[in-house]
Structure 1
């Protein structure tokens, strides 16, 4: 069993010997290095970049987080680059889990101290552990069975006699009965998918507690066949009232079976790979947190697509898609999230802001707010950026706020006056 290599965003991986590995520099095998380079070529064809090749033995990761498993067995754990202290592996893992759980709307369950002891496990083990806990809870409540029609030949009568087939029996076989009857079996699309996910966990887990629980549950599901058509079985997953106890386990099942959610890692090798673009994950985390903290009569809209930058020959050109929009009563706010480190110190005049982002927000303000209102740029909070910047004025009635977002509490700080957050969130800001 090869150990897990833990790094963070923009870390460098090399095939040379590294005497003291850090979160920003680690050594990988030659086979793992070559596989990452080939995988990056696939990403490039899709318009994305996984790594940047700096030399024949050195590459630099991009802003993707999660877990990658190579064909040679190397597991690469990539954490968010957010905490500034050296010993921040556990904090980064906890942050990544919170973001994934909130962004993908995964269910939570209160568990005891035994689960908390495994809180520092790598992301892949945490996902598999959560799936096993949800599946264990489901099995204790009872699997859903269903009747299935069976047509067979028996030496006894059971169910209904198929008269037509019975009359066509050849001489010498009249003592056998052609019958049809129903059998109460656990062979349902939901159970087949759970069995497939459980088989993958049994093969992939390196954690002793997960391995033991997985094989215990596997013995319970021996009668359940494995899904052979995953896509079709997911389409047939029932959401009826009697299947309500299957709801908590479904997202974890999807995460394990599809594995490469929400970013597909194409290729012949399908290890335990869970990759997330950090900018997209941050956007979803902010949206989930605001959806929780907004007042009841406020509306949160994601990825608005109603406006275009210009028109040409009667056709719309260059669609404008702000990350978030908040509507409350007769007022609207346009919000855009940026996963980047800002520095509000006096030494940095521009604070690390990009001019292109301001152009983008300026266009949003004129198209979505008709040139009057408030725009918000949201960046992760850190020690060098823990308070809102002074307001930027595009026009007398069009202003831009640059606000920090507390990643650990999931709270937007320093929202402008009138922004429809609950009172406790406004006070904490």
Structure 2
């Protein structure tokens, strides 16, 4: 059964406001032809069914957040509220692939029910903590033209550009500068959040203060990809802020298909990707603390065929030292499924993983449903495929305990 929702009178001259819920049912909205066309051009975001008299039935897909679409009288402000609470959602973000240390504490979203304001406040708090002891500096190799020697003279460039001329000099030197990838990523996220409509004045003022603190960091050119950073001891205090910054920048676009991307005025998060990143990192870290070894989230080192044309994409492969020679070899394979019930294709996929990785058990983890075990005959042996459930609706402390319990079950299955 669908509900018919009408537009408030005070919003008729502004963007059409359409709030939907992730995983919610169909709701009926009255749209102008221009507004319907705007939504039809963004079919990655929602399902649409035409009704009568200008009515349209709408249903959200797998993205959450808020985005402004279209222009003129076709402008639509689409908001998709996640099924899980915002503080739980930001807790999942803490386990994104670039997370340095296991930390089950959630990011406090306070009373904010909407993703964008909560994410902005969480990012500001994380960035303030990162910069508490000053802006991170590092030595960067700098090429310059100077009237004096600094560092080393680039003799080849000097002879090519100024043969026989003593000054100025082409030099290269190490400059201790804040203009490094970590700070570039923070600044890019700050500038992106400042363009998001609807932020409260407090968050906007805090973001502007962060811009001032990052003085000396060059803004990224328009269209440039986010800078890459490598977790290490030097940037540990930045880790949480960088994870949130990466989420901010990734949420500013989405794929339309065929490799084409569209930038969005707002922010969207793909829930199944976030769930996969969370499970891979959280379970991998729990296994590492429990049995050692090395977790590899989103491992892409294996192929189904000998020609290496069909890559396998398990969400987690955990490596342990071989008892014979101590070499790290694959010992656990896990795949996350943001689904309500298992499908046969999941079993086929995990069977392929196990056969190719030479393992006798594999683990599928669902966001809801019932756990179970499936035995798969393979030649003269058999595979055991476990179906686990990690319920995102549980409080974050219980969720962290569930991850530890899951790691214990996986370890027990491996040792059996």
TM-score by length of 1: 0.61
Q: Is 1:308 equivalent to 2:299 in the alignment?
A: no
Partner of 2:315: 323
Asked if 1:38 corresponds to 2:37, the answer is no
- Summarize the Cα distance change of 1:108–1:124 in structure 2 as closer, same or farther, 3 Å threshold: farther
Equivalent residue number for residue 168 of structure 1: none
Match of 1:51 in 2: 46
Residues 139-172 of structure 1 show CA distances to partners (whole Å, capped at 9, x for unaligned) of 54333679999999xxxxxxxxxxxxxxxxxxxx
Within 1, Cα distance between the matches of 2:231 and 2:353? 39
Q: How many aligned positions are there?
A: 343
1:393 Cα deviation from its structure 2 partner: 4.6
Aligned to 1:355: 344
Deviation at 1:125? 1.7
CA RMSD of aligned residues (A): 4.8
What's the CA shift for 1:241?
A: 7.3
Q: Helix, strand or coil for the counterpart of 2:372?
A: coil
Structure 2 unmatched ranges of 5 or more: 1-13, 147-167, 169-174, 324-329
2:267 aligns to what? 273
How many Å separate the matches in 2 of 1:292 and 1:239? 15
Partner of 1:366: 355
Instruction: Please say if residues 403 and 414 of structure 1, whose CA atoms lie closer than 8 Å, have aligned partners that are also in contact.
Output: no
Mapped partners of 1:362, 1:243: distance in 2? 40
For residues 142 and 412 of structure 1, the distance between their equivalents in structure 2, rounded to whole angstroms, comes to: 35
Find 1:256's aligned residue among 244, 248, 254: 248
Query: Which of 401, 408, 416 is residue 386 of structure 2 equivalent to?
Result: 401
Following superposition, the deviation at residue 364 of structure 1 comes to 3.3
1:286 deviation in Å?
1.5
Distance 1:253 1:97 in 2: 12
Q: Give the structure 1 partner of residue 160 of structure 2.
A: none
Q: Tell me the secondary structure at the aligned position of residue 212 of structure 1.
A: helix
Q: Distance in 2 between matches of 1:318 and 1:117?
A: 42
Match of 2:164 in 1: none
Conserved? CA contact 2:18–2:78, under 8 Å? yes
Could you say what secondary structure the match of 1:234 adopts?
coil
Q: Could you tell me how far 1:31 is from its partner in structure 2?
A: 5.3
| In 2: Cα distance, 1:354 partner to 1:248 partner | 35
Matched, 1:419 2:402: no
Cα deviation code 1:209-264 (max 9, x no counterpart):
313323444565678664436748836x7989776655543333333345437x54
- What does 1:29-178 align with in structure 2 at a 5 Å threshold? 33-40=36-43, 49-55=44-50, 57-71=56-70, 72=75, 74-80=77-83, 91-106=84-99, 116=108, 118-143=110-135
Matched, 1:7 2:21: yes
Which runs of 5 or more residues in structure 1 are unaligned?
17-27, 41-48, 81-90, 153-177, 179-183, 343-352, 423-429
Find the counterpart in structure 2 of residue 21 from structure 1: none
SS at match of 1:303: coil
SS at 2:94 equivalent: helix
Name which one, 1 or 2, has greater alpha-carbon Rg: 1
